[in-house]
């Protein structure tokens, strides 16, 4: 492997230009005026809202539909596949015969994204800041909040071509979404004064927008290094077996109660036809754990409001993804297939659409820790809860007291 030439941070973001929101009546004050703006179209005088373009963001809560973005961007640039946006194209300039490290993050809060670079292979070496057994892929999927470090080996010689880097969403839900494609361009530096624009531009075909097979295949390739230097400390003994189902419900206010249920209070065929009454209730409950509890949590998608993939993010801990599957989790059969040798360690994992994922972690970090779907709109629909990991006896197992000036409720 050659030396790493340069490190690039590539962030994929959804760009919201102007939002419209239905449902309950809300009142906003907008100052509309003309202003020079360069974005998606060339610099021109255009209508801005409160001096901003994009205008102020409006968030719909309590079951509103997600805003549909106008474009995805790579490092803030939408690229040539959008109207009048060739000028706003991210260009990755590389030299032949080198290895580059790309740090990828999906910062598009409501969209899981496919990403690829035409005619190039990416080697995945890291997920959420933890090394993995390296593997190669033409295309990757990255969910909101996930990070992937990948190596890009450039062609040995100047290729007489340029290459699209493209991204577009993976969607399993029912609502409307932005199905557009963001593109950047991989350009090789050359001493010959070539006109790069005249070179052929290679494109890559990304998977279909609902290609769950690709996603399943890709995610199943992730493995921890599990070496003496980078061991996979997956808990082998489980103190608490938990089973959470994933569906939407409203918000609730109030003081928390320490009795978050270990498993659903009402069982039904989670991935079959949903019953008329799922007996979902609102409450503010925390899952309380003594420090150093080892937890196994199975997260089950459900068909209430349709099955959908959910990138689940846990604060405070990395976890090991020991198993996943489609349909209903079978507590008698499925655990025998769990990978306890080299499961991937990360902090954001996709709960498969119409399926389940099993994680294990050691609750060795005291505090109250939020766990939520990383599709921003799903948080407002209730896909969130919190863990309370209690202090231990040792000094390094205690939370420092809050500052004296912390405001009281």
How many amino acids of this chain bind Cu ion (CB under 5 A)? 5
What is the per-residue burial (b if ≥16 Cβ within 10 Å, else e) of 212-231?
bebbbebbeebbbbbeeeee
Contacts with Cu ion, 264-303, as mask; x by CB under 5 A? ----------------------------------------
Distance in angstroms (rounded) separating the CA atoms of residues 163 and 166: 9
What is the per-residue burial (b if ≥16 Cβ within 10 Å, else e) of 89-126?
bbbbebeeebbbbbebbbebbbbbbbbbbbebebbbbb
Please identify, using beta-carbon distances, which residue of 223 and 310 lies nearer to Cu ion.
310
Please identify, using beta-carbon distances, which residue of 116 and 245 lies nearer to Cu ion.
245
Select from 318, 299, 127 the least CA-distant residue to 218. 127
Please identify, using beta-carbon distances, which residue of 223 and 378 lies nearer to Cu ion.
378
We find the least distance from the C-beta atom of residue 250 to Cu ion, in angstroms, to be 15
Stretch that binds Cu ion, among 23-31, 267-275, 306-314, 315-323 (CB under 5 A): 306-314
What is the CB-side half-sphere exposure of residue 82 using CA atoms within 13 A?
30
Helix extents (H) in 97-255: 212-219
We find the least distance from the C-beta atom of residue 65 to Cu ion, in angstroms, to be 14
CA distances from 310 to 130, 145, 300, 384 (A): 21, 12, 10, 11
Stretch that binds Cu ion, among 32-40, 265-273, 367-375, 390-398 (CB under 5 A): 367-375
We find the least distance from the C-beta atom of residue 403 to Cu ion, in angstroms, to be 34
Beta pairing class for 319-326 and 182-188:
unpaired
Please identify, using beta-carbon distances, which residue of 334 and 376 lies nearer to Cu ion.
376
Tokens of 46: 């255009």
Stretch that binds Cu ion, among 279-287, 321-329, 357-365, 374-382 (CB under 5 A): 374-382
Our finding on whether 373 is near Cu ion (CB under 5 A) is yes
Stretch that binds Cu ion, among 81-89, 134-142, 143-151, 377-385 (CB under 5 A): 377-385
Ramachandran region of residue 263, left (φ > 0), alpha (ψ -120 to 50) or beta? beta
Please identify, using beta-carbon distances, which residue of 116 and 143 lies nearer to Cu ion.
143
Stretch that binds Cu ion, among 274-282, 313-321, 368-376, 387-395 (CB under 5 A): 368-376
Please identify, using beta-carbon distances, which residue of 80 and 145 lies nearer to Cu ion.
145
Under DSSP, the state recorded for 373 is: E
The length of the chain in residues reads 409
Q: Where are the beta strands (DSSP E) in 89-146?
A: 91-94, 99-106, 112-117, 122-127, 130-137, 139-142
Contacts with Cu ion, 62-91, as mask; x by CB under 5 A? ------------------------------
Please identify, using beta-carbon distances, which residue of 232 and 377 lies nearer to Cu ion.
377
3-state secondary structure of 216: helix
Tokens of 41: 């179209």
We find the least distance from the C-beta atom of residue 378 to Cu ion, in angstroms, to be 3
We find the least distance from the C-beta atom of residue 358 to Cu ion, in angstroms, to be 18
Please identify, using beta-carbon distances, which residue of 68 and 125 lies nearer to Cu ion.
68
CA distances from 14 to 49, 168, 182, 226, 347 (A): 19, 10, 9, 35, 22
Please identify, using beta-carbon distances, which residue of 85 and 106 lies nearer to Cu ion.
106
Distance in angstroms (rounded) separating the CA atoms of residues 255 and 262: 19
Select from 115, 338, 83, 82 the least CA-distant residue to 235. 338
We find the least distance from the C-beta atom of residue 82 to Cu ion, in angstroms, to be 27
We find the least distance from the C-beta atom of residue 270 to Cu ion, in angstroms, to be 15
Site for Cu ion in 378-407 (CB under 5 A): 378, 383
Please identify, using beta-carbon distances, which residue of 287 and 377 lies nearer to Cu ion.
377
Q: Which residue has the tokens 């640039």?
A: 77
Our finding on whether 375 is near Cu ion (CB under 5 A) is yes
Please identify, using beta-carbon distances, which residue of 346 and 378 lies nearer to Cu ion.
378
Ramachandran region of residue 337, left (φ > 0), alpha (ψ -120 to 50) or beta? alpha
Our finding on whether 223 is near Cu ion (CB under 5 A) is no
We find the least distance from the C-beta atom of residue 330 to Cu ion, in angstroms, to be 23
Our finding on whether 310 is near Cu ion (CB under 5 A) is yes
Stretch that binds Cu ion, among 202-210, 228-236, 356-364, 369-377 (CB under 5 A): 369-377
Beta pairing class for 384-389 and 286-289:
parallel
Select from 199, 114, 105 the least CA-distant residue to 144. 105
Site for Cu ion in 21-40 (CB under 5 A): none
Q: Which residues sit at the interface with Cu ion, rule CB under 5 A?
A: 310, 373, 375, 378, 383
């Amino acid at each position: 492997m050659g030396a790493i030439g340069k490190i690039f941070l590539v962030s994929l973001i959804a760009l919201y230009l102007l939002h419209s929101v239905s449902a309950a009546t809300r009142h906003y004050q907008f100052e509309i005026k003309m202003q020079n703006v360069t974005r998606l179209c060339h610099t021109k005088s255009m209508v801005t809202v409160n001096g901003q373009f994009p205008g102020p963001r409006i968030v719909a809560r309590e079951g509103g539909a997600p805003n549909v973005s106008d474009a995805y961007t790579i490092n803030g640039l939408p690229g040539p596949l959008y109207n009048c946006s060739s000028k706003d194209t991210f260009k990755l300039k590389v030299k032949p015969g080198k290895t580059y490290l790309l740090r990828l993050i999906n910062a598009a809060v409501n969209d899981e994204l496919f990403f690829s670079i035409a005619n190039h292979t990416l080697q995945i070496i890291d997920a959420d800041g933890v090394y993995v057994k390296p593997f190669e892929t033409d295309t990757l999927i990255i969910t909101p909040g996930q990070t992937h470090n990948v190596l890009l080996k450039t062609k040995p010689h100047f290729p007489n071509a340029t290459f699209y880097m493209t991204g577009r969403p993976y969607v399993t839900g029912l609502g409307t979404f932005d199905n557009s494609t963001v593109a950047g361009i991989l350009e090789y530096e050359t001493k010959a004064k070539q006109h790069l624009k005249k070179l052929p531009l290679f494109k890559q075909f990304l998977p279909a927008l609902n290609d769950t097979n690709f996603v399943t295949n890709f995610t199943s390739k992730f493995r921890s290094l599990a070496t003496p230097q980078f061991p996979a400390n997956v808990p082998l003994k489980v103190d608490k077996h938990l089973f959470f189902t994933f569906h939407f419900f409203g918000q609730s206010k109030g003081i928390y109660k320490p009795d978050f249920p270990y498993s659903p209070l009402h069982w039904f065929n989670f991935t079959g036809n949903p019953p008329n009454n799922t007996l979902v209730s609102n409450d503010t409950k925390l899952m309380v754990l003594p420090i150093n509890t080892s937890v196994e949590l199975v997260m089950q998608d459900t068909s209430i409001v349709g099955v959908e993939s959910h990138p689940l993010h846990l604060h405070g801990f990395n976890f090991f993804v020991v198993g996943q599957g489609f349909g209903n989790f079978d507590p008698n059969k499925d655990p025998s297939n769990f990978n306890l040798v080299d499961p991937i360690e990360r902090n954001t994992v996709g709960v498969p659409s119409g399926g389940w994922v099993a994680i294990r972690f050691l609750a060795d970090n005291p505090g109250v820790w939020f766990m939520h779907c990383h599709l921003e709109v799903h948080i407002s629909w209730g896909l969130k809860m919190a863990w309370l990991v209690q202090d231990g006896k040792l000094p390094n197992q205690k939370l420092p007291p809050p500052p004296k000036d912390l405001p009281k409720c």
